[in-house]
Amino acid sequence: MKHLFALLFLISFNCISANYDGAWYFIKGQYTLGNGEIIYADNNTVVAIKTVKGNKFALTNMKAGTFSGYLAGDFTTDEQHYSEVITSGTSEEHLGKTFTFKGWLETKEIDGVKTVFWHHQGEVNGVLETEVWRKIKP
């Protein structure tokens, strides 16, 4: 019986981990530069919204109250990783690139409300990103 519960948990986790559809709000990030310097950000300084629908995604962000830009493109996922292929946006350095991240979802109950968090880690142009996003409408 114990093994059955463990198996059911793993199956449900894998199904949940691959379901990124929805709108997400940036909570916090840690960015490790090539020289080892670490930069931190949170939603007090960066406001970002990412939406995923099927195999498409879009990301819009602001820093210090000023529009920073957007990226959009194709979105693919498997049980542990997801990739964003940038097909349009305001950042020339990202256009045409594919970024692959280790990603997973975590569900918690906060003040009696089911809350879903999206964690990811991966490299973007030589910077190791570790970010947490919160689903806007679970």
Long-range contacts of 46-53 (CB under 8 A, 24+ apart): 49/23, 49/24, 49/25, 49/136, 50/23, 50/24, 50/26, 50/133, 51/22, 51/23, 51/24, 52/20, 52/21, 52/22, 52/24, 53/21
Model pLDDT, residue 85: 97
Segments of the chain scoring below 50 in pLDDT: 1-17
3-state class of 43 per DSSP? coil
Model pLDDT, residue 56: 97
Model pLDDT, residue 71: 97
Quick one: which H or E segment has residue 5?
helix 2-17
The architecture of the domain spanning 2-135 is: Beta Barrel (2.40)
Q: Token digits for 121? A: 């880690």
Distance CA 108, CA 68 (A): 31
